[in-house]
Structure 1
């Protein structure tokens, strides 16, 4: 990929300008063109990996997701090719949109692209093609989505069909119905769960916020834009802190092969004026993420996005991941809808949150604690509230970061876990609260044992305390920490109840295990033992003294955590310390 020379005057932190985004979009589009079928209705990219939906659906995905890129780029030459493909697709090539089928997902990308480029594509089609296309899209109004972010695909299709006057009553009802459906998953302060349960990840940004806000903006609906735009603005205050100083997004959640799609809510805030970020911060974060991936092999020798994170990496894939799945990264180019003279393109880059100061930030709805250090640009996420319905290393580990990847189920190391009886599974996660410098939760471990966990953080240092109850006496317990990343060091030291091998055994009563942890890229950090001291009284009363900082007292009981000195905490069965 040939990019323009870096501009370190306008963009002192990344060197990237609008010209770099345009060049990246053009190169990605040009690389996909040879893989279109003769009628241009499908795009079949090379590779052995196929999604569970099959080759035909994967080919439609290739068309839809690259069309979205052409739409954001407003590339009229490319859009002419996609017009030909659309005519062929709706003439019988594309699979029908059925209940819970992948074509419903791709219909949303197609509808959004058509809505964004209506004068350049839709309005130039023959009337017969338009009628067939509207009828094909129309099945999205009645197809049953999976109960998660899929509810927003009929919204996106319905918004376009309303605009062109197709089945306006049915389209309007579909929009209203599915927008109402996502209300049950809004948990406040700008956060949604992705369906029932506590699934918190990037789908908040590239789906749950993106589609409602874009619909409201395109429909020029002030009421909806106030509602969904206000939520987006609140979300971005937390979201902006999920990017490391090197541009890396947090390595957590599913569909990570979409890579720099993580930037789409940043651009969306600027596009709609609903953002707490300055223009220079917005571009710095977005360009940082794009540069991060382009510099690390996200694009192969053919110019195609690979299935992975940096390069190919099957550990970040799901069953629905097909050869074209990474092209949902096209959402990153939403910023090109902003004109070249918009201040988000003309302002000088400003430091992102992680670059300005050290921060330990509580995030209430997902019960996360974000811990960042400006000296090395690392961001760590202490997860005490996010969970998938199955044991998933990308949801259920105790911590994630911008420089580490969770070990997979085939890796016996099981980073950031409390392994009870040899089993690392962490299920039934119950948030117990989060505050300034701390976060706590309870979960079920092997054999029904209950683990109450508390993390205290300051700078790059962590105190991790785990109270294990309900396990048979003598059950082995192992505590693990960060997986050692390249260019950084991961440390874990026993503090209470653990041997030097970070193992212990349970007693008849609840047993407390405490460790000191640190993930840092500083070349010569102060030894952990000099950063903090820990003392325990009784079964679960913890005394922590930070070097040069406060002393914190916390009491852990089976299912509750209380702290009297740092912050007042109110949780079920909490006992105020001292």
Structure 2
């Protein structure tokens, strides 16, 4: 499917892999903005896009439409030195004036006040996009505004400095507002305090390997790229603060060494974590690294990843017939959304247009596209700090992420909440599959069943990760959580280890403290009948048999309307060990799983697997240790 607006002809000489150039990015930005502005209110303060409202209400959703499209327009205009071929700045200036007026009896356009996160604080989120848009376009918009409008805009924005953000990346919203105010000579003790507070928290959230937790827990996801790295690095870049840019840029460089592996050969980012309807915003950090020079990637590889991600969604129905970004992944998909998602939420995808801050003569645009990492060779990368293991195979372009560390459970929540979070609780994610919906069988999941209740995985405790030449491992433990009664079974614990090699995944679990008569189930990847994918799962030890049964997931995934999941079942009680071999591949000539491993031996707290080619993997559970030797 092509975009519902005109794009330039492909340039396969400069961009042999995507065909996209800077002109394509400008055309996409222009097309998205033109389509969205058809839904503006008369005073231009709100863009009331069609669709179900968010929990924050219609007025807040309209502000979201203004703010998030303004971000795309600002990158587009700032990157072209102020060129505004569609007269967008006049519209955004008018909207700023109308939105910040004191509400009157007949008012229909003034913006909601910025309050704390516990008081439906979505306007605080949007204040950052408004502030960043004003900062990027200051020479052509802010400096030409009537002083009264400037004062009203400042007063509205300062609401973000006076109220409490959510305890996560939200602290970077007042940080961004403060950065803008200081950049136009309106800084004071309040702006300095907001910036210092955010930076101190950011330091506490940094876990290493280029990854921040999104708050005090262990939530690691795309917010790293489109928020936790983007705001401080872009702020330092715009301010010309060499010291801050060196500090934050070094972490961005480290982050990109891993993030670059998380885009498939078809351009797709990993379907992992929340807010996935932001889609190609996942490439924002890649472009920012190229713009600021803090990246391990060549300019050609950076552009290939960014353009590949943009094109991936445009080619697969992310836009409606009206040229609007739908609420979903490709087309509309309710299970990919959160309760805060509204009609304009997808326009945080605007962050991808950070790429346009690179001028036309920048190497990001002039270099010939290089292959993305997954197109060059197989990769296995362990990230011990977030507890993630990346497995990428060149032959089919599929990237898989094995999750042994990200759970999105806040420290004060404990482990007792018994709801299943498909975006964080699954053991594996990929660039070609999505998690099944709540209420359907959970993919890539180990569950303990006891007393008629089935467990979910909530808080994840990492136990280590590592990699060698062509192989890697990651491990974690969790306490199974149950609904419909006491949430925890005293002493019950599951230890899990994933070892990857080529396209294969050796999955070993030790269940400790299970009541007598309990059962354990384990599932593989969810795929649909119309997909050119093979999902296989084979029992090697501790199951009723080696063959997995297919289980239906009628609500499908973000890729397919209907899916099925392979599932193994077995008995457990006391302490038991369960070993399986899984595989997800798009290669048509994949060898059957029974031919991959010759033998598995389980003795005490150790598992030893002998691969068909003579390689050996040994896993011990207490303490966790993984050794692998090639033939």
Q: Same-fold call, TM > 0.5?
A: yes
Counterparts in 2 of 1:315-464, with a 5 A limit?
Answer: 315-389=335-409, 391-411=420-440, 413-421=441-449, 423-436=454-467, 437-445=472-480, 446=482, 447-448=488-489, 449-464=492-507
Contact 2:473 2:626 in 1 (8 A): no
Counterparts in 2 of 1:129-278, with a 5 A limit?
Answer: 129-278=149-298
Residue among 599, 605, 613 paired with 1:548 = 613
Whether 1:63 aligns to 2:80 is no
Contact 1:367 1:439 in 2 (8 A): yes
Residue among 73, 77, 82 paired with 2:76 = 73
Contact 1:417 1:424 in 2 (8 A): no
CA separation in 1, counterparts of 2:41 and 2:599? 65
Measured after TM superposition, the shift of residue 565 of structure 1 is: 4.9
Contact 2:280 2:352 in 1 (8 A): yes
Measured after TM superposition, the shift of residue 319 of structure 1 is: 1.1
Counterparts in 2 of 1:84-163, with a 5 A limit?
Answer: 84-92=94-102, 93-100=110-117, 101-163=121-183
1:44-87 per-residue CA deviation (whole Å, 9 max, x = no partner) reads 0112x111111111110010001111111116311111100001
1:427 counterpart SS class: coil
1:440-477 per-residue CA deviation (whole Å, 9 max, x = no partner) reads 11111154321111111110011111111111122011
1:457-507 per-residue CA deviation (whole Å, 9 max, x = no partner) reads 110011111111111122011111111252111000111111234211113
Superposed CA RMSD in Å reads: 1.4
1:453 counterpart SS class: strand
Measured after TM superposition, the shift of residue 549 of structure 1 is: 5.3
Whether 1:504 aligns to 2:549 is no
Aligned position for 1:488? 533
CA separation in 1, counterparts of 2:408 and 2:629? 31
CA separation in 1, counterparts of 2:352 and 2:629? 40
Runs of 4+ residues over 6 Å off in structure 1: none
Contact 1:308 1:317 in 2 (8 A): yes
1:393 counterpart SS class: coil
Instruction: Specify whether residues 143 and 299 from structure 1 end up closer, same or farther in structure 2 by C-alpha distance, changes over 3 A only.
Output: same
Aligned position for 1:573? none
CA separation in 1, counterparts of 2:387 and 2:41? 47
2:392 counterpart SS class: strand
CA separation in 1, counterparts of 2:455 and 2:24? 44
Contact 2:318 2:326 in 1 (8 A): yes
Measured after TM superposition, the shift of residue 408 of structure 1 is: 1.5
Whether 1:7 aligns to 2:5 is no
Number of aligned residue pairs: give it: 562
Contact 1:115 1:160 in 2 (8 A): yes
1:35 counterpart SS class: coil
CA separation in 2, counterparts of 1:209 and 1:553? 38
1:391-450 per-residue CA deviation (whole Å, 9 max, x = no partner) reads 311101000000001011121x21001111052401231111111111111111154321
1:539-568 per-residue CA deviation (whole Å, 9 max, x = no partner) reads 3321112333521212224xx42235559x
Aligned position for 1:25? 29
Measured after TM superposition, the shift of residue 526 of structure 1 is: 1.7
CA separation in 2, counterparts of 1:80 and 1:424? 55
CA separation in 2, counterparts of 1:427 and 1:61? 31
1:91 counterpart SS class: coil
The answer for unaligned runs of 5 or more in structure 1 is 568-578
Aligned position for 1:467? 510
1:428 counterpart SS class: coil
Measured after TM superposition, the shift of residue 534 of structure 1 is: 3.5
CA separation in 1, counterparts of 2:181 and 2:294? 26
Contact 1:4 1:20 in 2 (8 A): yes
Q: Which has the higher helix share?
A: 1
Aligned position for 2:564? none
Aligned position for 1:570? none
Contact 2:277 2:329 in 1 (8 A): yes
Aligned position for 1:571? none
Residue among 560, 578, 601 paired with 1:513 = 578
Instruction: Specify whether residues 478 and 91 from structure 1 end up closer, same or farther in structure 2 by C-alpha distance, changes over 3 A only.
Output: same
Measured after TM superposition, the shift of residue 40 of structure 1 is: 0.4
CA separation in 1, counterparts of 2:329 and 2:628? 42
Contact 1:534 1:542 in 2 (8 A): no
Measured after TM superposition, the shift of residue 14 of structure 1 is: 0.8
Measured after TM superposition, the shift of residue 168 of structure 1 is: 2.6
1:157-206 per-residue CA deviation (whole Å, 9 max, x = no partner) reads 00111111224332122212221122111111211000111000000000
TM-score where L is the length of structure 2: 0.87
Whether 1:522 aligns to 2:553 is no
CA separation in 1, counterparts of 2:254 and 2:629? 26
CA separation in 2, counterparts of 1:207 and 1:104? 14
CA separation in 2, counterparts of 1:285 and 1:167? 37
1:255-303 per-residue CA deviation (whole Å, 9 max, x = no partner) reads 0000000111011101111000100000000001001000011000000
